[in-house]
């Protein structure tokens, strides 16, 4: 499923226009992004939790040359699935 498919499903499920559904999705993604940028967690009960994790600097290896390279420390977005989502994914069709 891609963004267009999701917009179609939301529009038909909520009986709203595709423009309104697109705006809702964009606002949701922007809000989650802004919260993560500030370092906050976003918990959607039953679905999962978005958070920011810190990765330490480390040494890596260039696979083409075998040369050692330094990989800088950075922040990464992380998603942990909630219990309800895990159950739904593992449930038989």
The predicted-structure confidence for 20-65, as pLDDT tens digits, reads as follows 999 999 999 999 999 999 999 999 999 999 999 999 999 999 999 9
Neighbour-count burial for 7-22, b at 16+ CB within 10 Å, e otherwise: beebbeeeeeeeeebb
Residues 9-27 have a mean pLDDT of 96
Domain parsing of the chain, residue ranges = 1-39, 41-93
HSE of 65, CA atoms in CB hemisphere, 13 A: 5
Instruction: Please tell me the CATH code under which domain 41-93 is placed.
Output: 4.10.520.10
**Element containing residue 71 per DSSP (H, E):** strand 68-71
Q: Strand pairing of 42-44 and 48-55? A: antiparallel
Instruction: Tell me if 17 sits within 8 A of 11, measured CB to CB.
Output: yes
What pLDDT band is residue 87 in, cutting at 50, 70 and 90?
A: very high
> Binning pLDDT at 50, 70 and 90, where does residue 69 land?
very high
């Amino acid at each position: 499923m891609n963004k267009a498919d999701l917009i179609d499903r939301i529009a038909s499920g909520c009986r709203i226009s595709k423009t309104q559904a697109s705006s809702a999705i964009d606002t949701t993604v922007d809000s989650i992004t802004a919260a993560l940028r500030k370092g906050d967690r976003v918990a959607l009960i039953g679905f999962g939790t978005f958070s920011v994790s810190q990765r330490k600097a480390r040494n890596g290896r260039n696979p083409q040359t075998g040369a050692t390279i330094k990989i800088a420390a950075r922040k990464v977005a992380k998603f942990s699935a909630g219990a309800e989502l895990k159950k739904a994914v593992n449930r038989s069709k």
